[in-house]
Structure 1
């Protein structure tokens, strides 16, 4: 195998009989570039974390096999959104995946308060079930036994560390009831995200008000993650919630592939020198400087008009546009060439999740032609029109599922 390399040498080196010197400098420069590429991999916190996350997932403790794109989706969503929701069938390991994510961050048993796992109860009716209440008889604030308030206070004191708050099976109760304050607060700027625990005029009366102030902040180093089953025992999500959350439905990896997994002892991995504990700077790391193109904005606008024409209360909001752009910028550096696919992910997760209703409501937007065995409708026409932007493979699969639901159930969830 012979490789032909052409090297252009400035004449000053030839005239000055400095060819050997030039060759040495060229060699050093080439080695330097190779080292820069290698160092960039080492220094990129996203790539470091994803490698560690994969090690945790495939360890003997968790034995979880996930699609690599789903792993990237989850991590990028947590970085770019205050609220990420994992949705899917019961028993797919959603809760274990989040526990593995926390362990990959370096959150261990000695820092349990940084990972607060809250099981939602069907009886929850308002935010006092999640936060607590002011007891005016004993003049004390009674925080909920979920421990959420204490976790938020602790997070404010340790702003350099990542805190994860998990709401397990969050749609067992109506989210708009117990999470109502959060839905209003999550869209605000980081210095304005205050929850009201009780009225200001009570603060002087309560004995423990120095610990539990009337208002409490949701700091920038906190992320909420929800798990959600989709079945008849749970409640539908409101448009208000869907508009503020990134909803990820995990792909199912063939069960037989677990035979190829090389399981390693996680405790031994954590004792190695190359095991990392990631600070809050991981959440803010951005490998790209992407602005949505005119074509992408035109696509989103046409999609908004199509949705809004058929479903007047549904569309693509400015919030959606802003978070799609933020998501693309927070992708790992090695996903730069897959921006078109990532854009498709966001269309399916942030916009098509709003597409719900009966066949009469949705038939103009999506339908199925039994003769041609093809999807039809305004949304399909828009996806086809912007095929150069993305193949929209994930979005088309989502629409196929919704069409099947319309045929079988008469209603798309």
Structure 2
């Protein structure tokens, strides 16, 4: 490649030491300028560069935490795209080049500088050992240095010193203090991401010489002692660190004038030396570490030790001999004790060995007897036995061959029957589709004829003039800034009933099943009707999804009819509204209306939704206590999230409904109250003419899938269970089919299955898009299953919940995403969730180019 790379060694687990991995950090151009890699996964898929040869040599030349230059690297080929364990780029160990020791110098962030007297820095921060470094004190906004690690004697403490030579040319035992902001402005600092951690580096130390800094004396006590020793204050042959010598030394320093101690130009150093000697004389252990360091690391200290040993040799040897004799005596006693224990163990092991040998002899005798018995069998007997076994095996082989032929015949017959069944199902499917289309066309023809007949009667009616006067009156009211009329249409009034639904829920559901089965349209099972009622009660919006002709619209209309909200003769009701959604709706003005500031009037849309909701703000209507149901037919011809945005936040049914701001200046009419009893049903199709549902909308509503009905319920229902109870109240309906989330819970198997599915869909190990199940969805599943479990479903309630709340979230592509769905398929089959498994099978069968979606 054209650009060089700044890299470091990465952890690798190859058995071959010649192979390894490098972590790319930044690009280095031909001028030596550094450009950080902002998106490693995009530029270097899998995040690493593979070293295919010479990695061992690279490791001997370059340390673990050391940055270095990779001068060349190449593309591996195309197979890395199909194998996540392979890497896009490779290189060799001899392409690695060490950095200039004064480039990319680390800057370590810390709260304070190390102790100047000792050099100790008590901290668990990472300190580089392969180069010198600087320290950034954030609260001072300053950078100090240079420093280097001298030694590491304790696990949590580090001893730092000042490097003897750097390009800064500082005085000995001095460090520099730079303003952090100044270095940033002069582009001398660079920030790099290494091992998911942001680290700061100085580009080149040479460049810092031209930047203003403050020189700080940072000499340690140890080096201060060395300094005055080199100036002749300690003469050879003297007792260098006896207290009498120190007192004389202290006195001489006080008496000597500036000429004698001219090397102490730094007054601070002079004062530190005097205090150090004073503390040494007054405190028993003070300065012991400094003295020890001096004695064992300097020539003067070594001379003192030799002199001291020669003068006290006999006493030191005697003390050492006594110490060694005592130590040897203690070790001898300890070893003798251990020998006694070993002897005891030896004795026990010997007894165990004797017992084992006796057992071996007994078993050998038994084996010998058995061998002799076998030898007594004649050769003829052995031959007869083998012949008998051979005959038995031949019979078994013949029987198995017959079974295989029989199974092959059954398999062929089974496949033939399967083909016939598939052909028949296709024919039934096409027949049902055409029958539904014929019904729809006949219904459209009837509606058209009625409309024509109505218009003809109106034109021929003597009351045409009155109707025109009404129209003119309404028109003049709108143009003359009228207030908001309170229309009172002569429409269907709901029949009220005090039916106790909570105690008769199953009879109520059976009655609806019977009603649906008698009107020559699509029939529903007990489970399906109960599912509709639970979703309608618990969800502000329920979505019916399916291909054309599956009865989505008719299902919503029939449900409103059988719930007593409308009648056969009159389709209009204060409690039911049918809205045909149009193409190109973009805002709430298309479904609700808008405030016309020029005319100072609120102009409702043609849908009638504004008038429908406005009526229910008047508490005098007795219909207010019943369910208010709005059907949005073909709802995804336009984006639901756009034109229905005023209602989207109300989908959390546990939260009280809010009012909609109409934008009218008059505070008495500005807000449109939304009743708690309002519910929406939306029908959608999934083809190129419709809009895709947004994730926010899917997260807030159940999606019921209606497919072509091949197995309509044809059970004979007894007329005795069919009864006209009128419309039950909304409170009665909600109490029977809804529950607070605080009371809802799953049974043991449901909870385990749901946890497995959630964990599978969010598992990052599949290396594909995850599917997150929100708390809102989980709460909806808890509430649904709690009520459904009380109604004795034939199909498992969790099966319905998964198909309506989890499967609609499926939208992804690739082989890894397919593997995730295949694992989901296994879980669904394991727990007997066959309805959900069937929908997932359909997703697999209709996928194209490894793209999998519920819709």
TM-score bracket relative to the smaller structure: 0.7 to 0.9
- Aligned pair partner of 2:754 in 296, 300, 306: 300
1:333-412 matches, cutoff 5 A: 333-335=790-792, 341-360=796-815, 362-366=817-821, 376-377=822-823, 379-383=824-828, 387=830, 390-407=831-848, 410-412=851-853
Which residue number in structure 1 is paired with residue 533 of structure 2?
Answer: 75
| Shift, 1:178, TM fit | 0.7
Q: Does the CA contact (< 8 Å) of 1:285 and 1:330 recur in 2?
A: no
**1:47–1:332 Cα contact (<8 Å) kept:** no
Q: Secondary structure at the match of 1:86?
A: strand
The equivalent residue for 2:332 is none
Q: Which residue of 1 aligns with 2:726?
A: 276
Q: Take 2:718 and 2:589, find their aligned partners in 1: how far apart are those partners? A: 43
Q: Which residue of 1 aligns with 2:505?
A: 46
Q: Map 1:124-139 onto structure 2 (within 5 A).
A: 124-139=585-600
Partner Cα separation in structure 1 for residue 501 and residue 677 of structure 2: 24
Give, in angstroms, the shift of residue 232 of structure 1.
2.5
Match of 2:673 among 214, 217, 222: 217
Deviations along 1:294-318, whole A, 9 cap, x unmatched?
6544543443343233665731111
Counterparts of 2:703 and 2:646 in 1: how far apart (Å)?
20
Change (3 A) 1:47 1:332: farther
* Structure-2 change in CA distance of 1:98 and 1:403 (3 Å): same
| Distance (Å, rounded) in 1 between the aligned partners of 2:814 and 2:552 | 31
| Equivalent of 1:90 in 532, 548, 553 | 548
- Residue 197 and residue 262 in structure 1: after superposition, are their counterparts in 2 closer, same or farther (change >3 A)? same
| Aligned-partner SS, 1:345 | helix
**Local SS of the residue matching 1:275:** coil
Indicate how the Cα distance of structure 1 residues 155 and 52 shifts in structure 2: closer, same or farther if over 3 A, else same: farther
Unaligned runs of 5+ in 2: 1-498
Does structure 1 retain, via aligned residues, the 8 Å contact 2:540–2:650? no
Gaps of 5+ in 1: 1-39, 367-375
Q: Which has the larger radius of gyration?
A: 2
Shift of residue 188 of structure 1?
A: 6.2
1:93-242 alignment to 2 at 5 Å? Answer: 93-109=551-567, 112-156=573-617, 157=619, 158-187=623-652, 189-198=654-663, 202-204=664-666, 210=668, 213-242=669-698
Residue of structure 2 equivalent to 1:373: none
SS in structure 1 opposite 2:521? coil
Residues 313-353 of structure 1: per-residue CA shift (max 9 Å, x gap): 73111101111122123338432x65x71111101210111
* Alpha-carbon distance between aligned partners in 2 of 1:189 and 1:392, rounded to the nearest angstrom: 28
Aligned residues: 341
Q: 1:141 to 1:278 in 2, by over 3 A?
A: same
String of CA shifts for 1:68-113, please: whole Å, max 9, x gaps. Answer: 3222211111111111111111111111111111111111347612
Whole-Å separation in 1 of the counterparts to 2:521 and 2:828? 37
Q: Quote the offset at 1:155 in angstroms.
A: 3.4
The answer as to whether partners of 1:67 and 1:251 remain within 8 angstroms in 2 is no
Distance 1:71 1:311, change over 3 A: farther
**What are the within-5 Å matches in structure 2 for residues 6-21 of structure 1?**
none
Mean CA deviation greater in 325-334 or 87-96: 325-334
1:324 matched to 2:781: yes
Counterpart selection for 1:291 from 745, 748, 756 = 745
* Structure 1 residues 159-215: Cα deviation after superposition (integer angstroms, max 9, x where no partner): 4111111100111111121112222232264434332322xxx423xxxx64xx333
CA displacement at 1:245 relative to structure 2: 0.6
- 2-side partners of 1:249 and 1:286: how far apart? 24
- The offset of 1:133, in angstroms, is 0.4
1:131 to partner: Cα distance: 1.1
SS of residue paired to 1:237: coil
Distance 2:756 2:644 in 1: 32
Residues of 1 paired with 2:501 and 2:809: CA distance?
Answer: 39
Question: Counterpart of 1:20?
Answer: none
CA displacement, residues 209-250 of structure 1 (integer Å, 9 cap, x when unaligned): 64xx33323321111111112223222211111110111012
* SS of residue matched to 1:113: coil
Root-mean-square deviation (Å): 3.2
Specify the alignment match of 2:485 in structure 1.
none
1:279 positional shift: 1.1
Q: Which has the higher contact order (CA 8 A, sep 6+)?
A: 1
Change (3 A) 1:48 1:256: closer
Q: Distance in 1 between matches of 2:828 and 2:716?
A: 37
> How many Å separate the matches in 2 of 1:254 and 1:41?
35
Residues 63 and 263, structure 1, Cα contact 8 Å, conserved in 2: no
Aligned equivalents of 1:197, 1:305: Cα separation in 2: 44
8 Å Cα contact 1:186/1:193 also seen in 2: no
Partners of 1:315 and 1:41 in 2: how far apart? 40
Q: Using structure 1 for the length normalisation, give the TM-score.
A: 0.73
